[in-house]
Amino acid sequence: MNNEDPVLLHTEGRIRHITLNRPRAINALTHTMVLRIDEALASAERDASVTAVLLSGAGERGLCAGGDIRAIYEDARAGGSTSVDFWRDEYRLNARIARFPKPYVALMDGIVMGGGVGVSAHGSVRIVTERSRVAMPETGIGFVPDVGGTHLLASAPGELGTHLALTGDAVGAGDALLCGLADHFVPSEHLVDLTRDLAGSTTPAEVVATVLRYATAPPVGELAAHRDWIDACYAAVSVEEIVERLQNSGVPAAKETAETILTKSPTALKVTLASVRGARRLGSLEAVLDQEFRVSCAAFTRPDFVEGVRAQIIDKDRNPQWSPARLAQVSSADVAGFFEPLGARELGLTPHVSSP
Catalytic residues: 67, 115, 138, 146
Which string of DSSP letters, residue by residue, matches 179-202?
TTS-SEE--GGGHHHHHHHHTT--
- Amino acid of residue 217: A
How many CB atoms are closer than 10 A to CB 190?
Answer: 16
Cβ-based burial of 306 (10 A; exposed 0-12, middle 13-18, buried ≥19): buried
Sheet holding 111-113, edge to edge: 62-64, 111-113, 133-135
Give CA–CA dist 88/290, Å, rounded: 9
Give CA–CA dist 66/119, Å, rounded: 9
Q: Which helix (H) or strand (E) holds 204?
A: helix 204-214
- With the CA atoms of 64, 66, 67 and 73 taken in that order, what torsion angle do they form, in degrees rounded to the nearest 10? -130
Of 83, 53, 86, give the one whose Cα is nearest residue 204. Answer: 53
- DSSP helix/strand/coil, 134: strand
21 contacts 6 by C-beta, under 8 angstroms: yes
